[in-house]
Amino acid sequence: MAIALNQPAPDFELASSELVDGRPGKKIKLSDLRGKPVVLAFYPLDFSPVCTNENTCFRNDLGKFNELGAQVLGISVDSVWCHKAFAESLKLTYPLLADFQPRGAVASSYGLFMEDKGITKRATVLIDKQGKVAWFKEHDGARSDEELLTALRKLA
């Protein structure tokens, strides 16, 4: 079932690429981020060409997202260890969340898990400060940070 605009975003808690006691896996809960806009960047797999390019673009434009007070979160079905290696290789400073076990459960709650392929669709969900879905788009190719930043500016 696809998510709907102006409805509460499905809450979740996932392990991330961020460290706890020297190991990846710090838990991040969406509802704990209320009060700031959140960019949920769903993508298929770490280290794939388009996903690598997109995450590089997020890294390069992160200052613009930060200026708008937004928290960027990458989400795929890869493990926290894979996310850690991917984040280190690209020098990413925002969390990558592991929708790993059960595989794709969070993506499914947003209508974005491709069961037949076992991966997440490429999509962006913007969550407003109150925790509601403010903007949503599935992407056929690489996403446009400028399009996302324009949508975020409208939330301010």
Question: End-to-end alpha-carbon separation of the chain, Å?
Answer: 28
Contact 7, 133 (CB under 8 A): yes
Q: How far is CA 154 from CA 27, 42, 147, in A?
A: 29, 21, 11
Long-range residue pairs from 59-63, CB within 8 A, at least 24 positions apart, any chain: 59/90, 59/91, 59/92, 59/93, 59/94, 61/145, 61/149, 62/93, 62/94
Task: Give the residue numbers marked as catalytic.
Answer: 51
H or E element: which one contains 58?
Answer: helix 49-67
Q: How far apart are CA 29 and CA 33, in angstroms?
A: 7
